[in-house]
Amino acid sequence: MFGKANETWLIVGLGNPGREYERTRHNCGFRAVELLADKLGCKIDKAKFQGIYGQTTYGGKKLMLLKPLTYMNLSGRSVLQLSAYFNIPPQRIIVLFDDISLEPGRLRVRPDGSAGGHNGIKSIIQEVGSQAFPRVKIGVGSKPNPEYDLADWVLSSFSAKEEKALAVALENAADAALAIIDHGVPDAANRFNGSHP
């Protein structure tokens, strides 16, 4: 088992609150963290820290699951408040989010890095003051053409075929987050990077 017992970890799924955003490309993080909560029998139902969160134990560690309700561009405020309150360092904050540079169904696990144009990640880096948090990127596909507005694209829904690939990717993303806690980022990256349904 990687890491120490009794550590507290935070897994954050990024998205936008509101029914109209539920099935959009930008809300993959929410969906992955909800799936993970189901797997762990954890309810994400406590309203605090500008989000809703749940608390459970996993492998002798305390695990917090968070959905920021600030809208995507201010996600970092919620992450900072919860991580500061529970004293969780960036290295134990795992963020699940959508990535337009990956095809639907593909994943990429990374130990750290820049925002890469993702406003939710940009906000977390800004608020937490570090890029050194692990992340699981969930492929949502690139814009159909260069003229297509990026905001419109990430707020669009998936086709039925894409949803099929995504269902597997969301399962894998939830498993990848746990694999990071179990064995560390390199091991999780080996297992899940490029995984495809």
Which is the catalytic residue, given 26, 118, 183, 196?
A: 26
- DSSP lists the bridge partners of residue 52 as 47, 67
For the residues of 54-67, what is the DSSP string, one character each? EEEEETTEEEEEEE
Confidence bin at 6 (pLDDT 50/70/90)? confident
Q: What is the pTM of this model?
A: 0.96
The highest-level CATH class for domain 8-192 is alpha beta
Structure-block tokens of residue 14: 């990024």
Model confidence pLDDT, tens digit, residues 116-155: 999 999 999 999 999 999 999 999 999 989 899 989 999 9
Check whether 3 has a pLDDT greater than 90. no
Domain boundaries, given as residue ranges, for the chain? 8-192
pLDDT digits (tens, 9 = 90+) for 58-104: 999 999 999 999 999 999 999 999 999 999 999 999 999 999 999 99
Q: Tens of pLDDT along 21-44?
A: 999 999 999 999 999 999 999 999
- 183 given a catalytic annotation: no
- Please give the structure tokens belonging to residue 184: 């560390």
Are the CB atoms for 126 and 43 separated by under 8 Å? no
